Structure formats: C-alpha cells, structure tokens
Amino acid sequence: MSTPAAPAAAPPPLDVRGVTVRFAGLLALDDVSFTVAPGTVHAVIGPNGAGKSTCFNVLSGLYRPSAGTVRLGAAELTRLAPHRIAALGVARTFQNIVTTQGTVADNLMLGRHALSHAGFAASALRLPRALREQRAHLAKAREIAELIGLGAHFDSPVALLSYGDRKRVELARALCLEPRVLLLDEPVAGMNAAERTRMTGVIEEIRAELGLSVVLVEHDMGLVMRLADEVTVLDFGRAIAHGTPDEVRRDPEVLRAYLGTAGAGEDAA
C-alpha cells in the first residue's frame, strides 16, 4: 500500500533502538531496533511468545526496557509513565475489551479526558469555560464516532453493541486522544469474517484521513499483508527480518520461524 499524502502536521518517526527486556533471566526482547516512518502502517509479527506484546508494552510505557531507547522525534519515551507517553500523542488499544459500561459517547469522552484543560472544580461547578470545552470535546467525539462508523450508536449503551462494534469503540476511544501514533494490539482478534473486513476498512480509512502512523501487532496475516507498509518479524525476542510484506513472507528465516505453526502467508500465525 502506498504512503498517504503527508498530513498538515506529519507525525515524527518512532525510533526503537536496541531495546532489551529481561524477565528473570528470560530475554523477552533482545536488542530490537526498527523505525516507524511517518504516516505508515508498521506491523510487528512473530510466532507465539516471540515478544510482540512485550514490545507493545515498552512502546506504551507499561514496561521499562533494561537497555535501549524509544524516541518519537526528539522526545525520549523510554522512561516516561504511560499517561505522559499518551499526552505526547501515542495512543494504544487493548486486545481484550474492557469496555462494557456507559454509552459510546461516555467512553469516547474518557478518551478526551487527557486533552481537557478545564480543571475538575471548574467542570464540577459547570463554569462557562468548562461547559464550552465540554461541548467542543463532545463534538469531536461525535466526529470520530462517525469516521469509525459508530455515529448511529453514539448514545447507545456499549453493553448492547456487538463484539465488532465494541472493538471499534475501543479504537475510537484511542483516536479521541488525537494521536500522532496509534498502537493497535490485535484489532481483529476474536472477530468473525465480516467484522474483520469492516475493521480492516476502518483502519485503512483512519490512516488515509488522519495521516497518523500505526504500529500493528496482529496474528491475522491477511490483515498484516493488506495493511502494512513495513513489517518487523520477531522470533524468540530477536528481530529476524524487516521489509515489505512481500519481502518478509519470502524470507527464509521468517519461513523457518513459522514452520511448525503456520506459513507466514497464511491466515493465522
């Protein structure tokens, strides 16, 4: 897939350099480096236990690496708390949906929380400035819901939505942060074929419309091959290949890593 036209403010590159994570002697990530070019979709794939989730947890600040750095442009993310990383424009989705409370609007407004300037007291006292800000956030949340195809469900309780729709609420919540980099953790896990197709279209659309960079961890190779500009393949914590989807699916080391599970060109890893 080609790189979209550069947005007004293109995101800076996300640069992962020499990242190493150890769990009690186990090297979950071993000197991993890759760069997510501005406005591209970069997939991180690999067999079970390869280190994909660990990598994502480093990018979003849940884990601190024992060595290496993660930079977004000039900003060093490695030692920042997750909420500080989010405030710099790196938003993530979670593989397991936790959202069953409130309406779609409520959940998207939670995503706007980090961007609120009016303080808690001003909001609680319903001061004019806080009310104005609240209205602007609600309008933005509605715009994002519409972009994701959730406009008709904006005031619906999340608990009444289908699984696919709830996964899209999770994506919309992350987008409400107006991120420059979006980390998608298995966005189609557990979905049926129709829901997967819809989610794939949504990801293509937000990438084209918003021009943000996307880092994708996904077992569905069909989705990876369709969406990714660049792929990093992990195996036993090491980055064993980088390249376009076509390059990595032909790479002998990648084929070897997947042997015994499924071919890298198949629909499951």
Q: Which is nearer to ligand ATP, 51 or 179 (CB)?
A: 51
Token digits for 256?
A: 């070897």
Question: Do the Cβ atoms of 167 and 187 come closer than 8 Å?
Answer: yes
Closest CB 92 distance from ligand ATP, rounded Å? 14
Subset of 107-136 contacting ligand ATP (CB under 6 A): none
Q: Which residue has tokens 């959940």?
A: 107
* Calpha distance 79→65 (Å, rounded): 9
Residues 6+ apart with CB under 8 A from 250: none
Number of chain residues interacting with ligand ATP (CB under 6 A):
11
Please enumerate in sequence order all residues whose Cβ is within 8 A of that of 117, keeping only pairs 6 or more positions apart, or say none. 133
Measure the CA–CA gap between 203 and 174, rounded to whole angstroms: 13
Q: Does 53 bind ligand ATP (CB under 6 A)?
A: yes
Instruction: Give the one residue of 3, 18, 26, 192 binding ligand ATP; rule: CB under 6 A.
Output: 26
In the complex with ligand ATP, the residue whose CB is nearer, 110 or 262, is: 262
Binding test (CB under 6 A) with ligand ATP, winner from 7, 13, 49, 164: 49
Q: Is 52 in the site for ligand ATP (CB under 6 A)?
A: yes
Choice from 3, 6, 18, 23 touching ligand ATP (CB under 6 A) = 23
Stretch that binds ligand ATP, among 22-30, 122-130, 147-155, 160-168 (CB under 6 A): 22-30
Give the Cα separation of 13 and 38 in Å (integer): 5
Taken in order 203, 65, 87, 119, the sign of the CA dihedral is positive
Instruction: Give which of 35, 76, 28 is closest to 51, Cα–Cα.
Output: 28
**Residue 48 binds to ligand ATP (criterion: CB under 6 A):** yes
Phi and psi angles of residue 62, each rounded to the nearest 5 degrees, phi first:
-75, -30
- Choose the stretch contacting ligand ATP; rule: CB under 6 A; options: 50-58, 73-81, 115-123, 251-259: 50-58
Binder among 28, 58, 158, 171 for ligand ATP (CB under 6 A): 28
CB of 185 to ligand ATP, least distance (A): 9
| Ranges assigned E (strand) in 40-139 | 41-45, 67-72, 75-76, 90-92
Does position 46 interact with ligand ATP (CB under 6 A)? The reply is: yes
Give the interface with ligand ATP as residue ranges (CB under 6 A): 23, 26, 28, 46, 48-54
